A and B are shown apart, each in its own frame.
Chain A
Amino acid sequence: MKRVLSGLLFIVLAATLIVSCGGTGGASKGVEFIMGNGAEPQTLDPSKIQGVPEHHIYMALFEGLVGYDPKTSLATPGLAESWTVNPAGDQITFKLRKANWSDGTKITAQTVVDSWIRTLDPATASEYAYMVTMVIKGSNEFNTGKAGKESVAIRAVDDSTFQCDLLGPMPYAVDMMAHYAFAVLPMHVINAKGDDWIKKENFVSNGPFKLLEWKPQESLIVVKNDKYWNSKNVALTKITFLPIDDNLTAYNKYKAGEMDWDSGVPLDLIDEVKLRPDYQVSPQVATYYYIFNMTRKPFTDVRVRKALAMALDMQELVDKVTKGGQLATSSMVPTMAGYTPAKGVTFNVEEARKLLAEAGFPGGKGFPKVPVIYNTSSGHKKIAEWVQENWKKNLGIEVTLANQEWTTFLDTRSNAHDFFIARAGWVGDYLDPNTFLDMFIIGSGNNDGLYANTEYDALVKKAATMKPGAERMAVLQQAEALLITKDQAVIPFYHYVSQDMIDLTKWQGWYPNPLGAHEWKTIAPKK
């Protein structure tokens, strides 16, 4: 027995030795970068992607007509070296630069036309096609099967000139076009290989990197694309994206030096994390808020809604509960260039009690014990408990808390509208107040609280067709004031911040920005 055991021990030790030698051998050339990328990417097909992890990978592999400015998130030249907007503001003409796919095939204006048509084609079943239908004339008709592809008002004027007609003068249209819904696709491969174009052996890209390998749930590796028009300015030679859902595991990996950038931090360790010099926090175009179900008593009464909003001190929430640098707010829309958000109610317990009494619930008496629903997460739970405690302390009303697993929660809140008060968060798709306001119009699929105010709808629709400028922003602000100040359809809590771990003494070209869109071509080791 002893002999067998010592034999086994020897084998194990020998194997370990061989393996550990193999693991550390062979130093590689170039600059490698490893990123903790959250969830496993759902797809690499830009027509079908829809999440943040996929966006990070998209930014490495593809380049649309425009890209994101690494500091402001506004449009910068990409495949298009310049663009002009006609005087009416409803037609954009892009001048394309000379660029090729990673297999050497030339990219022309017709490639852009065919790419957008593919994304809009109902047979592609693209989820983000709606972004295109929001701005491009005739695209909704094609996407919904009411008209053929010729209805889409986009065209190749010549090989290097692409033109598109907008639904109206949409000031945010060009910025929106940095989004992957407007991606340029390798149509020559897609036409030849169909859905298999995404397989590694067929995959071609036009971004600063090309696909090397993808092991589902394990890693996705891209390497520098020498055919990229600006490849001489790309510093990284290889990027490894690691799919790690669990924030704590990712953070541990980062701390152990196994990762260069960790997108997301463990909220339970925020006290430790925020003391680190490599913790990067920056305001995001995103809002955390609670929705009232406007059709259910007692929330049909604006005095009740206002009382509940006034009884919460959002500054206390961000200082003592969330603690990650979030920005307390009373507005739905975050501050954006040229836009001053409408102000909601401020923390005022006296006034809140008065309003509640006027609504028939003096000292909270007779107020029904309604549930607050949120999706399961320790962060949302802490916030809900703080809300519960403050409403009890300040207004004398009791609410219950009910957490639901994400998909169930979405079904309850968004499909069945079966709630009184529900947690919500909204991340802007582009830098314009409209992305926060058009969801509250009557009939919008995202109007979960069933807010209905025709005056509000008229303002949002009016702004959609106005030319860019202060006048338009004033109309949007009026709309927000109706939603928040007058009707209190939601209670805004705070504006999110993006929370990343990256050592900026080691890396340059990575900047905090409002949309969290980080261009890989600018990231480089610090000299």
Chain B
Amino acid sequence: MSRFIVRRVLSIIPTLLVIVTLSFFLIRLAPGGPFSREKKLPPEIMANIMHKYHMDEPMLSQYFRYVGDVLQFDLGPSFRYKDHSVNDLIGTAFPVSIMLGTMALALAVLLGTSVGIVSALKQNKWQDYAAMSVAVLGISIPLFVIGPILMLVFALKLKWLPTSGWISSRAGWMTVILPAITLMMPYFAYIARMSRGSIIEVLRSDYVRTARAKGLKESVVIRKHVLKGAMLPVVSYLGPAFSGIITGSVVVEQIFVVPGIGRIFVQSALNRDYTVIMGEVIVYSIILIVANFVVDILYGLLDPRISYN
């Protein structure tokens, strides 16, 4: 097990290096640059700017300079947001996205599994049909539709919640509710369907039949045998779900003006803010790699059939 962990941790470094290298050159292939303007700058002023940001140097030396800085955990200055370093920007925005993502995922797991359990136990009854209809809606309606609808109903019509903003605004923590619910929807739906399917499958398995044959109470059978076995797919889904919910909060952050990394990512791509794009790519890559890694370990702990040796 420990050898597996060391091996996986070490493999992160070359993976990141490949990602950094590819992204560094790919983003520079996009037309325009961080200083493209409607009102074009006089060439001399452009030269001053290019010099300041070392963009007048050959591409390879820019690359090595960048990799050197990254190795010292310095992601460089933002070309667009000139008063902030990329470390600052991501450092402020990352906790926001993590917080929003964690809340959305916790809600999704809590509601999703509850709905899944009810559906599975009441299979083919009205509760099941109702729950699964909601789940289908959650999967099929895109976030950019759900978000504005929730905003329209709960903020503009009922005036229960603020339209947008984040915790430091006047409305405080109330601002979190709509984005968290919106972001949760597809994950909630997926978890509900997944846990329903997997519980139904486990209910029919031999070891559950054995448990019942032993005369155990139904509630004990469900709690101790069915749920533990049925949660395995849900747990393995949590890794991709967590990285997906953090990296996929772009739309929700945009709609509800949440100051997270998703919003910065979109802006940086449109602005060709090279250093910010690179910083975000690195952060997103680390999230994906770490999430998958944690799931691999959890999987081993939950399923005795999996061995790392």
Decide if B255 touches A216 in the complex (CB within 8 Å).
no
Q: Measuring CB to CB, which residues of chain B are less than 8 angstroms from any residue of chain A?
A: 30-33, 35-45, 48-49, 51-53, 80-84, 88-89, 92-93, 110, 114, 117, 148, 151-152, 155-156, 159, 162-166, 168-174, 223, 254-257, 259-260, 263-264, 267, 270-272
Other than the given A44-B83, A215-B168, A217-B259, 7 more pairs (CB < 8 A) read A48-B82, A143-B45, A144-B44, A246-B254, A258-B162, A258-B164, A410-B36
CA distance A40 to B81 in the complex (A): 8
Contact of A445 among B41, B51, B163 (CB under 8 A): B41
Point out the residues of chain A lying under 8 angstroms from B52, CB to CB. 123, 125
At the interface, yes or no: A98 with Cβ under 8 Å from chain B?
A: no
Provide the residues of chain A in CB contact with B35, threshold 8 Å: 127
A43 to B51, CA, bound (A): 19
A123 CA / B256 CA spacing, docked (Å): 39
Contacts of A218 in B (CB 8 A): 165-166, 168-169, 259
Kindly list chain B residues whose C-beta atoms are within 8 Å of the C-beta of A408: 30-32
With A198-B83, A244-B257, A249-B163 given, is the CB distance from A255 to B270 under 8 Å?
A: no
Chain B interface: which of A15-23, A269-277, A320-328, A351-359? A15-23
Residues of B within 8 A of A40 (CB): 81, 267
Q: B100 CB to closest chain A CB, in angstroms? A: 13
Would A126 and B45 count as touching, CB distance under 8 A? Answer: yes
**Chain A residues, CB < 8 A from B32:** 407-408, 410-411, 415
Q: How far is the CA of A445 from the CA of B44 in the complex (A)?
A: 12
Give the docked Cα–Cα distance between A130 and B42 (Å). Answer: 7
Please tell me if the beta carbons of B254 and A242 are within 8 angstroms of each other in the complex: no
What is the bound-complex CA distance between A414 and B80, given in angstroms? Answer: 20
Q: Which of A43, A123, A414 contacts B83 (CB 8 A)?
A: A43
Q: Shortest Cβ distance from A283 into chain B, in angstroms?
A: 20
Residue in chain B with minimal CB distance to A121: B48
Interface residues of A (CB under 8 A from B): 1, 5, 8, 15-16, 19-20, 22-24, 39-40, 42-45, 48, 50, 122-127, 129-130, 133, 143-145, 198-199, 215-219, 242-246, 248-249, 252-253, 255-256, 258, 405-408, 410-412, 414-415, 425-426, 445-446
Query: Are A19 and B174 in contact, CB atoms less than 8 angstroms apart?
Result: yes
Interface of B is mostly: loop
Question: CA–CA, A253 to B162, complex, Å?
Answer: 8
- Which among A8, A215, A445 is the interface contact of B40 at CB below 8 angstroms? A445
B166 A407 Cβ-Cβ under 8 A: no
B164→A42 contact, CB < 8 A: no
Give complex CA distance A45, B77 in Å.
15
Contacts of B165 in A (CB 8 A): 218, 242, 253, 258
**How long is the Cα–Cα vector from A255 to B164 in the complex, in angstroms?**
12
On chain B, the residues within 8 Å of A127 by CB distance are 35, 37, 41, 45, 49
Return 28 A-B CB contacts under 8 Å, by A number: A8-B110, A22-B173, A23-B173, A40-B81, A42-B81, A123-B52, A125-B53, A127-B37, A127-B45, A129-B45, A130-B42, A215-B92, A216-B93, A216-B259, A218-B169, A249-B163, A249-B256, A253-B164, A405-B270, A407-B30, A407-B32, A407-B36, A410-B32, A411-B31, A414-B40, A415-B36, A426-B38, A445-B40
Chain B residues, CB < 8 A from A50: 37
CB distance from A397 to the nearest CB of B (A): 28
Q: Which of A23, A45, A122 contacts B170 (CB 8 A)?
A: A23
Rounded to whole angstroms, the CA-CA distance of A381 and B281 in the bound complex is: 32
Assess whether A130 is in contact with B45, with CB atoms less than 8 Å apart.
Answer: yes
Q: Judge whether A19 and B173 touch: CB under 8 Å.
A: yes
| A255 & B272 in contact (Cβ 8 Å cutoff) | no
Q: Nearest-CB distance from A24 to chain B (Å)?
A: 8
Which B residues touch A219, using CB under 8 A? Answer: 168-169
Closest to A412 in B: B31
Task: Report B-chain residues with C-beta under 8 Å of the C-beta of A129.
Answer: 45
A205 to chain B, nearest CB (A): 14
Residue of B nearest to A23 (CB): B172
**Judging by beta carbons under 8 Å apart, are B254 and A407 in contact?**
no
Q: With A252-B163, A411-B32 in contact, do A246 and B270 touch (Cβ < 8 Å)?
A: no
Is A256 touching B92 in the complex (CB atoms < 8 A)? no
Residues of A within 8 A of B159 (CB): 256
**Do B93 and A217 touch (CB < 8 A)?**
yes
B174 to chain A minimum Cβ distance, whole angstroms, is 6
Question: In the complex, what's the smallest C-beta–C-beta distance from A403 to chain B, in angstroms?
Answer: 14
Residues from chain B with a CB closer than 8 A to the CB of A253 are 163-165, 257
The reply to whether B156 and A252 form a contact with Cβ atoms under 8 Å apart is yes
Q: Is the CB–CB distance between A407 and B40 below 8 Å?
A: no
Q: Measured between alpha carbons, how far is A335 from B80 in the docked complex, in Å?
A: 34
**Known interface pairs A217-B263, A408-B32; A23-B171 also in contact (CB < 8 Å):** yes
The distance from the CB of B232 to the nearest CB of chain A, in whole angstroms, is 18
User: Which chain A residues lie closer than 8 Å to B89 at the CB level?
Assistant: 216
Contact B42 A43 (CB under 8 A): no
User: Quick one: which of A5, A44, A410 contacts B38, CB cutoff 8 A?
Assistant: A410
A144–B47 Cα distance when bound, in Å, is 9
**Chain B residues whose C-beta falls within 8 Å of the C-beta of A425 in the assembled complex:** 38
Top 8 closest pairs, chain A to chain B, by CB: A23-B172, A407-B32, A217-B259, A445-B40, A19-B173, A144-B44, A218-B259, A411-B31
A125 to B152, CA, bound (A): 45
Complex Cα distance, B37 from A256, in Å, reads 35
Q: Looking at A15, A45, A127, which has the most chain B CB atoms within 10 Å of its CB?
A: A127
**In whole angstroms, what is the CA distance A174 to B35 when docked?**
28
Shortest distance from the beta carbon of B78 to any chain A beta carbon, whole Å: 9
Query: Could you tell me if A245 and B254 are in contact, using CB atoms closer than 8 angstroms?
Result: yes
Q: Give Cα A43 to B77, complex, Å.
A: 12
- Are A252's CB and B36's CB within 8 A? no
CA distance A217 to B258 in the complex (A): 8
Question: A182 CB to closest chain B CB, in angstroms?
Answer: 16
Least Cβ–Cβ distance between A119 and chain B, in angstroms: 11
Chain A residues whose C-beta falls within 8 Å of the C-beta of B114 in the assembled complex: 5
> Contacts of A246 on B, CB cut-off 8 Å?
254-255, 257
| Cβ distance A429 to chain B, nearest Cβ, rounded Å | 8
Measured in the bound complex, the distance between the Cα atoms of B117 and A426 in whole Å is: 61
Cα(A517)–Cα(B15), bound, Å: 50
Bound CA span A407–B270, Å: 7
CB closest chain-B residue, reference A34: B170
Chain A's closest residue to B114 (CB) is A5
Measured CB to CB, the nearest residue on chain B to A259 is B163
User: What B residues does A248 contact at CB under 8 A?
Assistant: 148
Shortest B113–chain A CB gap in Å is 10
- Give the CA-CA distance A258 to B51 in the complex, in Å: 43
Could you tell me the distance in whole angstroms from the C-beta of B76 to the nearest C-beta in chain A? 14
Q: Is the CB of B83 within 8 A of A45?
A: yes
- Complex Cα distance, B31 from A412, in Å, reads 8
Task: State how many angstroms separate the Cβ of A505 from the closest Cβ of chain B.
Answer: 21
Pair B151/A252 contact, Cβ less than 8 Å: yes
**Residue of B37, B81, B110, B172 touching A22 (CB-CB under 8 A):** B172
Measured between beta carbons, the chain A residues less than 8 angstroms from B271 are 407
When the two chains form their complex, are residues B51 and A125 in contact, meaning their CB atoms are under 8 A apart? yes
Q: Evaluate contact between A130 and B41: CB separation under 8 angstroms.
A: yes
B257 touching A125, Cβ below 8 Å: no
B42 near A445: Cβ-Cβ < 8 Å: yes
| B82 in contact with A445 (CB, 8 Å) | no
Pick from B51, B151, B164: contact of A244, CB below 8 A. B164
Known interface pairs A252-B155, A252-B163, A256-B156; A143-B44 also in contact (CB < 8 Å): yes
Chain B, residue nearest A254 (CB):
B163
A143: chain B residues within 8 A (beta carbon): 44-45, 48
